[in-house]
Amino acid sequence: MKQKSLLILVLTVVLFGNSTFAIALTLPPVPTEPIYFEPPVVESTDDVRQMSCVALDNNIRYLHPYRYTYKPGFHEDDANKLATALITFDDVLGGWLGLGYLGYSSLVEEKEQRRMLQVEQQIAMLQQVKAEKHCFE
């Protein structure tokens, strides 16, 4: 019995005491930047500041059609309805195709939202320059 406990003690020291068997767990790096999209702030350049009030107003007018999305909403898009039906009936290949299309559709929606936000910021910058030049007076 004494030999058995001595053997267990020696194996314990060898297994847990030896540094080659010790594995340190390292944590993955934690991102410090925000998870969600933060749009860059549009700053006015010297070329924009030198524009006349009429040119600024024309640039704002030309940007207005790009403020809106022309992509149909989720429930109005017939392709999304078809993809949802494929997932529901879960055909062998259709379910995966439906999930893939819904993922693609959400990526397109996100890209569209970012595009519209950038146009809004460009218009806001042009309006700020117009206000600084006192174009409203």
Domain ranges of the chain: 2-132
Work out the average pLDDT over 57-80.
87
Residue 83: CB atoms within 10 A of its CB come to: 22
> Does residue 118 or residue 7 have the better pLDDT?
118
Looking at residue 26, what is its pLDDT? 72
CA distance 131 to 137: 9
In a 10 Å sphere around its CB, with 0-12 CB exposed, 13-18 middle and 19+ buried, how is residue 53 labelled? Answer: middle
User: Is the four-CA dihedral 97, 99, 101, 107 of positive or negative sign?
Assistant: negative
- Region of 72 (left: φ > 0; alpha: ψ -120 to 50; beta: rest) is beta
- Contacting residues for 28 by C-beta, under 8 A, at least 6 apart: none
How does residue 12 score in pLDDT terms, banded at 50, 70 and 90? Answer: low
pLDDT of residue 10: 64
pTM to 2 decimals? 0.63
State mean pLDDT over 52-67.
Answer: 92
pLDDT of residue 125 exceeding 90, the answer is yes
Mean pLDDT taken over the chain: 79
